[in-house]
Amino acid sequence: MTDIEIIERPPIRHELEIENALRKQLLDQIKEESQVIVHCSFKATYPYSQIRIWKSTFLYPRDAETRSALIHCENISLYPDWMPVEYGQTLIFTLVFSGLPKECKSFDLIEKIPEPGGFEIRNIRRNSTDVYHVDIE
């Protein structure tokens, strides 16, 4: 039997040089693909309560210019349809928004509508998971 000599190779390192402009573009794309999830609860405190969400609901960073748009909602009707909620019952629904800017530390959740009744949750402190729970009154 002959001895087999094993030759070990050093690991190959791949290093890429990325221009600053391309790096910024890639980072911007990563931000755009992130999402913010807001779980909401609404307790019906009046008989014949109804709720709906408008597409004009946004997250407004308190320390940046860009707002995050509502991209999906679960278990709630979109304007113009209403969703009834029985008196004393609590409706749990979820809103999914486009990602917040990386530098954002806190934000406001605002439903901007052309009639009374739009809700506002101010000064939500950002966390590492970008998943939040709020009560809608």
Contact 83, 91 (CB under 8 A): yes
Q: 72-106 pLDDT, tens per residue?
A: 999 999 999 999 999 999 999 999 999 999 889 99
Nearest to 89 by CA among 72, 109, 75, 70: 75
> Of 8-12, 15-19, 50-54, which one has max mean pLDDT?
50-54
pLDDT attached to residue 27: 66
Task: Give CA–CA dist 91/83, Å, rounded.
Answer: 10
CA angle 61, 62, 68 (to 5 degrees): 10
Nearest to 52 by CA among 76, 87, 85: 76
Mean of pLDDT values over 50-61: 96
Higher pLDDT, 8 or 131: 131
Sorting pLDDT into bands at 50, 70 and 90, what band is 49? very high
Q: Which residues pair with 50 in a beta bridge?
A: 84
- The domain locations on the chain are 35-136
